[in-house]
Structure 1
Amino acid sequence: MQDALVDMGPKASPAQISEDNLAEEAGNATKRTLQLGTVSSSLIKFHAFPQQGNDQAVARPALRKKTREGKESLERPCGLGCIVISSCQRFNNIQCFLVFFCILVASQGIVFGLVDLSIDTFQKENHLGISENLVLSLTYDISSCLIVLFISYYGGRGNIPRWIAFSSFLVGVGSLFFAFPYISDGRYQLSADPEDTCQEMKIIKTCRKASPSFQAKYIASFILGQIVQGIAGMPLYILGTIFIDNSVATHSAGIYLGLMDASLILGYSLAYVIGAPLMKGTENSTFLISVEDIDDHHKWLRSWWIYFGFVSLTAWITLIPLSCFPHSVRGTAKIKAEKRKQLHPFDNKFKDKELGTSIKDLFANTWVLMKDPVFICLALTKASESLVLIGASEFLPIYIENQFVLTHTTATKIAGFVLLPGGALGQLLGGIIVSKLHMSCKALMRFTIVTSVVSLVFFGFVIFVRCDTIPFAGINEDYDGTGQLGNLTAPCNSHCRCSSSLYSAICGRDHIGYFSPCFAGCIQSKIIQDDKTYYNCSCIQEGLTTADDQGDFIDARPGTCDAKCYKLPLFIAFIFSTILFSVFSGIPNTLTILRIVSDNQRSLALGLAFVFLRIFGTIPGPIVFKMTADISCIFRETEYCGKKGNCWIYNKMKMAYLLVGICCICKVVTIFFTAIALCLCKYLPKDNSEILHMPVKNPTVKKKRKN
């Protein structure tokens, strides 16, 4: 039966057998040809044999181009060295990378905010000189400016996620440097201030400062921390931007970059909110001071290190996840292939040119970018915008405090709440708008001009939102017809031995503000139901009298007089809109810089733009706004250890005009240089300027057949 079944099977004819043999021989020949081709390609690739002939000379650049493209588009699995977990490959994408990256960026933003607040507190308590203030404020900008070109040029060639992971380590280390003085020195104590009432026989120790050892340790630790943070920041904001732009479609880059910048502003603003209670400023109130209160205050002040330690821990949490990402995440090869088809305003010779690795090549390529007027204009635009942000972050708390008569802590919190939604939302919305509209380079420049004009208009509205100046004895009001303006001492308080280094504003029943109870001539005080009141003030003679529960007539209460100004909500609305439209141009400016240069010069272009930003923006910015505050000051402490002391009272009108004027000038500079860049684009060669007119979207370019 089985033999019958076998015989019933189909039999191959001689013709079929011969065809099968021919097919098998053809297949073997094909395999031999492929193997020979592979061997010859390998020999050509590694230059084992000298190439001769025109055909081989033409093939060599094409082979190098393929090798370079293959190297750039290499996608590896997600893992740490030889440890590769298959279940973790689902996280090998730009979205997961962005989560850890934004956490790291927000962590450094918190460090920036805490450092600014901590330095401000330290400067006020120790009255540092101009050189010490500048060193503490500008070390970050100077250190980052010195290394940014090297990191952007050489870092763009390597594994960018590993560079960013190294930055996360440095962010944590730098944060610990800032915490070190508060952890190591438990003797951070300032001498307690006596209650500043009028006493004919008293000795006031006005020269109060921390111990010299703590001051030296603080300055050294903060300088080291600023240097480390400056080194850590450049891979984040240069190489991180390039990695994101490489890994997403051209029209989607704005959204991802907007999330990155929004995270930075979110962290900075969050630091203002959580660090405001640690601020030591002019609280415009006087309370009975005890040794226990002083100890509690400095225990609270030393808790700076808790926040810095938390930031270090948060930054280090991202270290291992960021180290696991490969050179290129999944999907990058396809995106790069599409982007390679796009034209660039530079000559085609820069498109496929391999950049050298020597220092000479670095400066040569930098000079190529320096000769491009469009790039220079955009870099200067970026620098002018940074000045506006510096003014908003550093000068806004002082402006709110003095313009609307608030405590330093409250003003700092309000500034943080304004910067948080305004800055973060502006960066995010700016990226979303330009991405959804698929804007071209010229459209991005027009968008920058329009948003800057709107921001300039809102700046004009801000200047009209201010409060009237409160009468202040010795500053803009005399002492009931006695004394001189600009001098706090008058016949009514000349016997009180008052000091201008103890600012404790009070409001008299005559609705005039006084620098302190001592300068008001008050010789007695009471605390009734947690409210402090002053009595028998020799300089207060007019006004309605009010008796307390014990029948004594109250002459003054702590705090400044009520300005009866209710314009703060309107000011917040205008300044919020100003910041919102001002930061709208941040992402478009970055995208324009990335689009006007060739792919292999993008990281260097961003690095050079950051050099312009530091030299013309962040380095002179703090100096300009500190000078603005000094010019607006009408009374400052002059008795402090023989040094120039804190400013206690500002000219509100002058402060408003100076702040708004500087910011308006910066916006005009932004509009001017962006308009010049837009006009210069018209003079580019026609064949090299197509990208300026085409939408920022992956185009399909047909390849020409070779004859």
Structure 2
Amino acid sequence: MAQDKKKQKDAVKQAQVVDRDEHQKTTEYRKIGAYLITIPAAKKKFADISDKTKPDPTDNDSSEGPFGLGPLVYPCLQRFNTIECFLTLYFMLTLSHGMLYALVDLSLKILVSQFSASNSETFLMDFSDYFAAFLVSMFVAHFGGRGNRAKWVATASIVTGLSAITFAVLFFHYEIIKLSIVEEDLCKEGKKTKVCGSNVIPHKSISISLFIFGQCLHGIAGVPIYLLALTFIFDHVPTLSSGLYIAIADAALTVGYFLGYLLGVKSFILPVEEAMQAVGHVQRFRILQSGWWKSFIFVGSIPFFTTLPLFCFPSNLPGAHKIRLEKSKEPSRVDRRLKNKEIEPNLKGVLHATWCLLRNPLVLTQILCNVTESVTFKASSHYLPLYLQTQFVMTPKSAAMLTGIFILPGCIIGRFFGGYIVDKLQMNIKNKLKFITTVSVISIVLFLLLISVKCETAKFPGINENYDGFGMIGSLKAPCNEKCGCTTSAYNSVCGRDEKQYFSPCFAGCHASKNLRKEKVYYNCSCIIQGLTTADDEGQYIDAIFGTCNTKCLSLPLFFAFFFSATIFSNLCGIPTFIIIMESVPTSWNSISLGVMFTVWRFIGSVPAPIYFAETSALCCSFWDIDECGIKVHCWIYKGKQLVYTFVGTYMINW
């Protein structure tokens, strides 16, 4: 019995142990099951968190590199690896290129006058930079767009500096400005006139050749600056912010031209006293030309300061690929025929791409719009001084100065605010086209209002009236000045006491002159008979005063108000056309599209436009400067109405 109870207790204990083991195993199985459920979930959550902390591989691009020159990469310099830093350097480079533009234009006038350059020589010197840019623009657009565009711009900065040095060598090494005694243009009986013959000018051929070479370098340097740099900026900023960036970049050219013009005007002031004290002839002409070669050296040093930093930029700045992906998510503005289409790296591919762009109506119209805007600027620069001389009786110097004062600021304001407006209003292509059309119409209306602004033309003996019945219209010579030996090589107008304007003191028959209260006055003028006489401090009677006659034109401020407003509105569409062209093509086509625009622009600007301007203005001429050999040298006076119709007609054709 006791044994049975003992066996029963052992069996109960054994059952309890088994139950405890089974419970422990069940608990362990439950824990394992929970682990099997929670560990993968936790692992997945951890993977999601880790994926968020890792950069998206689609946001990276192998071409996005650091700021450095080859292996020389320093962490402290990476703060400069931004589009803002590139824009600053680009602004300095474009500023110097624009200043060089102005200095070349002003120095060209000196070479033409000192060397008595022919029309063909003047044409080559003036437009050789456009022609050189026309020849290389497609080459630079194709190969530069495939490479590191920042390094192409850096190379252009070197070429810009070399171009400035070339012009500096020209004025430093060769005698161009000659120090000569200028005789006053008075009536002197028995004055000998020049005899037609071969006038040998030393260094003329080499000086003209050197000037053309410098112009070619200047034109070639401008292609990467105005073509590749703009596409580089456009690719590194959001589409809606591109207007302001490109407006700032574009304004540098006109601001540079304005500063260069001021610097060049200062160079016209010759240091005659220092030159006269110089003993050696070589030192004397270098002192006379010191303002020019020092100006070119100063302007040429600016691009060399930008060269090294520009070489340090990579092909694409950090974040460029991310911006490209954001642009790809925007509504497509690209022509479907060009989408996902690559340009083959050969001549056939470039020609095919050019043909595709010229077949695109949107791109083609914007290219023509940009070209006509440039031609309009050239036309205004050419015709406006002539119009001011004719309609408002201004001297050529005053007319040229007023033209620059109103055209250049108008271009700066118009082009900058054109980019600023489309940036702030975040316009799409359709709204940009409406904006361009609106401002173009307004500019045409303002320009047509210029025709209504007129002034009474001063009486001009020999031009619009005879010499009181003793001469004839169309000839400055009359019995009162036929023995004076007058020439038309210089236009020095004087206003007589008869309120008539004469071409020069000589043609007015004036025999004497002196300075009176900061004015040049003339006496004993045989052609001036009528009018009230006034005596000076010494009791001598004044017959004429240097300068043009005061026509009391109260409408002249209104004329400049209309013209300045028309210039601003016509330039408001400059930046939007650039943006439309780049938005209408794939990213890889940006450089080639601007290359086509640049080629058409430079060709029209270098060949047909200047020939058209020269021929049409020559048809409007009423009085020529004819030299001793019977060759027409320069037109001094134009037909008023004919010049107005030509000016307005040219403007209307462009728009």
TM-score range, shorter chain: 0.7 to 0.9
- What's the counterpart of residue 634 of structure 2? 646
- What's the counterpart of residue 534 of structure 2? 546
Structure with greater Cα Rg: 2
Q: Is the 8 A contact 1:239 1:603 kept in 2?
A: yes
The verdict on how the C-alpha distance between 1:268 and 1:564 changes in structure 2, with shifts beyond 3 A counting, is: same
Separation of aligned partners in 2, 1:517 and 1:398:
22
Q: Is the 8 A contact 1:351 1:600 kept in 2?
A: no
For 1:610, the aligned partner's letter is F
For 1:255, the aligned partner's letter is L
Q: Is it true that 1:606 corresponds to 2:581 in the alignment?
A: no
Percent identity reads 39
- What's the counterpart of residue 432 of structure 2? 444
Separation of aligned partners in 2, 1:603 and 1:279:
40
Secondary structure of residue in 1 paired with 2:68: coil
Pick one of 104, 108, 114 that aligns with 2:97.
108
Q: Offset of 1:528 from its aligned partner?
A: 4.1
Q: Is the 8 A contact 1:118 1:279 kept in 2?
A: no
Map residues 5-20 of structure 1 onto 2, 5 A cutoff: none
Separation of aligned partners in 1, 2:214 and 2:249:
23
Separation of aligned partners in 2, 1:115 and 1:447:
35
- What's the counterpart of residue 214 of structure 1? 203
Pick one of 271, 275, 289 that aligns with 2:264.
275
Moved more, 415-424 or 574-583: 415-424
Secondary structure of residue in 1 paired with 2:513: strand
The verdict on how the C-alpha distance between 1:655 and 1:390 changes in structure 2, with shifts beyond 3 A counting, is: same
The verdict on how the C-alpha distance between 1:463 and 1:201 changes in structure 2, with shifts beyond 3 A counting, is: same
Q: Is it true that 1:480 corresponds to 2:473 in the alignment?
A: no
The verdict on how the C-alpha distance between 1:652 and 1:359 changes in structure 2, with shifts beyond 3 A counting, is: same
Q: Offset of 1:451 from its aligned partner?
A: 0.7
Q: Offset of 1:191 from its aligned partner?
A: 4.7
- What's the counterpart of residue 52 of structure 2? none
Q: Is the 8 A contact 2:190 2:483 kept in 1?
A: no
Q: Offset of 1:582 from its aligned partner?
A: 0.6
Deviations 1:593-641 (A, max 9, x none): 1121122212111111122222334532222222333233211111255
Q: Offset of 1:350 from its aligned partner?
A: 4.3
Q: Is the 8 A contact 1:469 1:652 kept in 2?
A: no
- What's the counterpart of residue 167 of structure 2? 178
Pick one of 299, 309, 320 that aligns with 1:321.
309
Separation of aligned partners in 2, 1:547 and 1:323:
71
- What's the counterpart of residue 88 of structure 2? 99
Separation of aligned partners in 1, 2:106 and 2:453:
26
Q: Is the 8 A contact 1:127 1:644 kept in 2?
A: no
Q: Is it true that 1:636 corresponds to 2:620 in the alignment?
A: no
- What's the counterpart of residue 192 of structure 2? 203
For 2:577, the aligned partner's letter is N
Q: Output the aligned Cα RMSD.
A: 3.2
Q: Offset of 1:394 from its aligned partner?
A: 3.6
Separation of aligned partners in 2, 1:460 and 1:210:
47
User: Runs of 5+ in structure 1 lacking a partner?
Assistant: 1-12, 32-65, 281-290, 668-707
Separation of aligned partners in 1, 2:373 and 2:70:
42
- What's the counterpart of residue 165 of structure 1? 154
For 1:368, the aligned partner's letter is C
Q: Is the 8 A contact 2:177 2:288 kept in 1?
A: no
For 1:84, the aligned partner's letter is V
- What's the counterpart of residue 241 of structure 1? 230
Map residues 61-100 of structure 1 onto 2, 5 A cutoff: 71=61, 74-100=63-89
Separation of aligned partners in 2, 1:348 and 1:460:
40
The verdict on how the C-alpha distance between 1:570 and 1:208 changes in structure 2, with shifts beyond 3 A counting, is: farther
For 1:451, the aligned partner's letter is V
- What's the counterpart of residue 584 of structure 1? 572
Q: Is the 8 A contact 2:393 2:458 kept in 1?
A: no
- What's the counterpart of residue 444 of structure 2? 456
Separation of aligned partners in 2, 1:231 and 1:78:
27
The verdict on how the C-alpha distance between 1:474 and 1:401 changes in structure 2, with shifts beyond 3 A counting, is: closer
Moved more, 129-138 or 240-249: 129-138
- What's the counterpart of residue 435 of structure 1? 423
Q: Is the 8 A contact 1:125 1:208 kept in 2?
A: no
Deviations 1:154-183 (A, max 9, x none): 111111110000011111111222222211
Q: Is the 8 A contact 1:255 1:432 kept in 2?
A: yes
- What's the counterpart of residue 544 of structure 2? 556
Map residues 558-707 of structure 1 onto 2, 5 A cutoff: 558-617=546-605, 619-667=607-655
TM-score, with length taken from structure 1: 0.79
Q: Is the 8 A contact 2:130 2:605 kept in 1?
A: no
Deviations 1:535-572 (A, max 9, x none): 22221111111122222222222222222223332222
Separation of aligned partners in 1, 2:219 and 2:265:
24
For 1:435, the aligned partner's letter is D
Q: Offset of 1:91 from its aligned partner?
A: 1.6
Q: Is the 8 A contact 2:81 2:317 kept in 1?
A: yes
Separation of aligned partners in 2, 1:330 and 1:361:
30
Moved more, 85-94 or 163-172: 85-94
Separation of aligned partners in 2, 1:427 and 1:23:
64
Query: What count of residue pairs does the alignment treat as equivalent?
Result: 603
Pick one of 108, 111, 114 that aligns with 1:122.
111
Q: Is the 8 A contact 2:191 2:485 kept in 1?
A: yes
- What's the counterpart of residue 406 of structure 2? 418
Q: Offset of 1:235 from its aligned partner?
A: 0.8
Q: Offset of 1:457 from its aligned partner?
A: 0.8
Q: Offset of 1:261 from its aligned partner?
A: 1.3
Secondary structure of residue in 2 paired with 1:212: coil
Secondary structure of residue in 2 paired with 1:213: coil
Q: Is the 8 A contact 2:268 2:291 kept in 1?
A: no
- What's the counterpart of residue 143 of structure 1? 132
Q: Is the 8 A contact 1:637 1:644 kept in 2?
A: yes
Q: Offset of 1:652 from its aligned partner?
A: 3.3
Separation of aligned partners in 1, 2:420 and 2:333:
25
Map residues 231-310 of structure 1 onto 2, 5 A cutoff: 231-277=220-266, 303-310=291-298
Separation of aligned partners in 2, 1:600 and 1:594:
10
The verdict on how the C-alpha distance between 1:399 and 1:114 changes in structure 2, with shifts beyond 3 A counting, is: farther
Deviations 1:324-382 (A, max 9, x none): 11111222121011123346455667433443222222222222223323322222222
Pick one of 370, 373, 392 that aligns with 2:380.
392
TM-score, with length taken from structure 2: 0.85
Q: Is the 8 A contact 1:634 1:651 kept in 2?
A: yes
- What's the counterpart of residue 369 of structure 1? 357
Q: Offset of 1:396 from its aligned partner?
A: 3.2
Map residues 480-519 of structure 1 onto 2, 5 A cutoff: 480-519=468-507
For 1:145, the aligned partner's letter is F
The verdict on how the C-alpha distance between 1:481 and 1:158 changes in structure 2, with shifts beyond 3 A counting, is: same
- What's the counterpart of residue 189 of structure 1? 178
- What's the counterpart of residue 676 of structure 1? none
The verdict on how the C-alpha distance between 1:140 and 1:512 changes in structure 2, with shifts beyond 3 A counting, is: same
The verdict on how the C-alpha distance between 1:364 and 1:393 changes in structure 2, with shifts beyond 3 A counting, is: same
Q: Is the 8 A contact 2:131 2:606 kept in 1?
A: no
Moved more, 456-465 or 268-277: 268-277
Q: Is it true that 1:471 corresponds to 2:459 in the alignment?
A: yes
Separation of aligned partners in 1, 2:86 and 2:564:
31
Separation of aligned partners in 1, 2:76 and 2:199:
55
Separation of aligned partners in 2, 1:347 and 1:270:
41
Q: Offset of 1:404 from its aligned partner?
A: 3.5
